[in-house]
Amino acid sequence: MWLGYCLVVDAAVLFRKGSSMLARSPAGYVALFVISAPAWWLFELLNARVQNWHYEGGYSFGEIGYAVFASLSFSTVIPAVFGSAELASTFGWIRRVPRGLALGPTRPVTAGMFVGGAAMLGLLLAWPLYFFPLLWLSVYFLLEPINVWLGNRSLLRDAAEGDWRPYLSLAVGCLICGFFWEMWNYYSWPKWKYDVPWVGFLHVFEMPLLGYGGYVPFAWELFALFHLVRGGPEDLVDLRPLDGPSASDASDDPRP
């Protein structure tokens, strides 16, 4: 189902922009799936401490079967989010968002982000009952400075020009995915269920309404994770608005 979603969204992006991740780089598109599975297992590892969600029905596959099928499912997370983000970048209201405050990747900014991310992770692990929301912020604040220091693609490159539309496109794209994740999960088996302290009310499918807010920074974390693994300053997911230079105008990057 999610592979179909990824391909449909990529085709929609190609129709609207004349370019898409799969069309620009088939090998790079495959790399999204390869990196996605271990990326989500990282969040499963953090959830082992936080215990905000659990799975029901996985026992029917056995331990090895569960790991295999879960990894296959997890492999679609990044392609779905990035494809939806590219689609969101074509929305007129996002294209019309004006430039705002410029926040360059200076040494004080990146050092402050890294220290803040480390503090968030420490609080999350020490007192998960109170600081569980930091799961969806700490990874981004830790990895974004590292990408800057290594010369990798980072969202701060756009923020330095006062262009916050890539952040917004990723957030909207992930919220779109979140809606479909939760909707299709509701009647699925196996399925996940939530146990979120303090905000476990007004459910939309299994997810508490306020819990959808976690999808916003989750998209930025995935972007940072992917580019840390992939390396290099080049774009694979093109979040530039349609009024900017097209991805086909950029120099080709042979790496996946």
pLDDT of residue 58: 84
H helix and E strand count, the chain: 12, 4
- Per-residue confidence band for 253, with pLDDT thresholds at 50, 70 and 90: very low
- Per-residue confidence band for 243, with pLDDT thresholds at 50, 70 and 90: low
pLDDT at 90 over 80: yes
Q: Note the pLDDT tens digit of each residue in 222-239.
A: 999 999 999 999 889 999
pLDDT at 71 over 50: yes
Sequence-distant (≥ 6) Cβ neighbours of residue 57 within 8 angstroms:
189, 190, 191
Structure tokens at 252: 């080709």
pLDDT of residue 199: 87
Phi, psi of 207 (to 5 degrees): -85, 130
Specify the higher pLDDT residue, 240 or 130.
130
pLDDT at 252 over 70: no
pLDDT at 248 over 60: no
What crossing angle do the helices spanning 26-50 and 62-74 adopt, rounded to 10°?
120
- Per-residue confidence band for 250, with pLDDT thresholds at 50, 70 and 90: very low
**Residue reference for tokens 């009952």:** 129
Q: Is 40 exposed, middle or buried (0-12, 13-18, 19+ CB in 10 A)?
A: buried
pLDDT of residue 61: 87
Q: Note the pLDDT tens digit of each residue in 111-162.
A: 999 999 999 999 999 999 999 999 999 999 999 999 999 999 999 999 999 9
pLDDT at 178 over 80: yes
Specify the higher pLDDT residue, 243 or 30.
30
pLDDT at 255 over 80: no
- Per-residue confidence band for 242, with pLDDT thresholds at 50, 70 and 90: low
Share of the chain above pLDDT 70, in %: 94
